[in-house]
Amino acid sequence: MEHVVETEELAIDGGTPVRDETLAYGGQTIEEEDVEAVAETLRSDWLTTGPTVEAFEEEFADFVGTEEAVAVSNGTAALHAAMHAIGIGPGDEVIVPTLTFAATANSVVFEGGTPVFADVDPETLLLDPQSVKERITEDTKAVVGVDYVGQPCRYDALREISDAHDLVLLDDACHATGGTYKGKPVGSLADLNTFSFHPVKNMTTGEGGIVTTNNSEWADQMRRFRNHGITSTHHERAEKGSWYYEVANPGRNYRLTDFQCALGISQLQKLPGWVERRRETAHAYDEAFAPIEAVEPVTQRDDSICAYHLYVIQLELNQLRGDREQIFNALQAEGIGVNVHYIPVHYHPYYRDYFGTEEGLCPTAEAAYERIITLPVFPRMTDEDIEDVSEAVRKVVNVYEH
């Protein structure tokens, strides 16, 4: 039922908040079968580098429709392993959108490469293919799409550009687990696809990540890389009764444990239902905010199923008396755990100091950053939680509108 809010005193000004306890912007769902799956593995002989890791990799690869999946310790490790597999090194440039978490660009730096920041589409806030074209040089080796909020990038256009310039195409799909693009699952859209299983993501292994690909050579390289560069796992050596191993190239300790993978297998079975609940929440927000001219949700294309890791609105600041910070603080005071995703990466001091990035590099992303707010969306939210968020947005905007 539509609830019309009269102008009333905001909580930040001493009024009564919409909620007494703050609703977080995201959170995990752990059910009894998840606990049992982990407990069963904890009682087994293998806590790490064991058979459950391979079982999780096989199930995830099957879920997204790729030949290979390589489980690692977190989403950043997934990106780093992917950069290592394709041979990024000093002098290589990798095009990334600036409106992303810093790990997308940091992973390039880890291997000695140079991230080149591209702009985003003003409506979807996804990587703009035209901006990618403008950034390509003779040193460009790869392009990374970021499936912002859970909506896949325009991979047909990115694939055409990548193929024309002999570039590797990567999908930072950490927001989009369970989504699709033109009927194809996220995870099968690029040459390498990386995921995060942090608790606020669409499924969790506590911490964790995975890379999917159809390139077996890259997969083998990433499996060595996650295990110090060693050519075999302890489980493989145990099956052969051998102690001998070799280090092919220096690697990292980016392994994911068996009990985390057991949680991943259990969570993966429930992922489609959780994505559907996220989409129901997003559609409820869409309806609630449709009459509010000062609030514009990020545009969703018809050719994709958005997995809604995030629900992001853009404020029409010319219709408001306050700026984003004031609206943000007012919503927090109402008990809504809003967030901002993200500060453009080229704004961060490291990239300003070492790569010479500066304001004006990506004007669309920079303008969006001043307007965006992330609202809570996760499967455990009740209908009452959704209404509280909608009510708080209506209440705050009603006060701040001209």
Catalytic choice (201, 240, 270, 395)? 201
- Assign 11 to helix, strand or coil: helix
Q: Are 117 and 90 in contact (CB under 8 A)?
A: no
CA–CA gap between residue 327 and residue 323 (Å, rounded): 6
- Assign 388 to helix, strand or coil: helix
Q: Residue 304: which H helix or E strand, with range? A: strand 304-305
Whole-number Cα distances in Å, 47 to 35, 153, 240 = 15, 37, 19
Q: Residue 211: which H helix or E strand, with range? A: strand 209-213
240 is catalytic: no
CB within 8 Å of 356: residues ≥ 6 apart = none
**Token pair for residue 3?**
């609830």
Residues in the chain: 402
CB within 8 Å of 102: residues ≥ 6 apart = 345, 348
> Can you tell me which residue has the tokens 């959704």?
386
Count of Cβ atoms closer than 10 Å to residue 184 Cβ = 14
Q: How would DSSP label each residue in 63-125?
A: HHT-SEEEEESSHHHHHHHHHHHTT--TT-EEEEESSS-THHHHHHHHTT-EEEEE-B-TTT-
- Active-site positions read 201
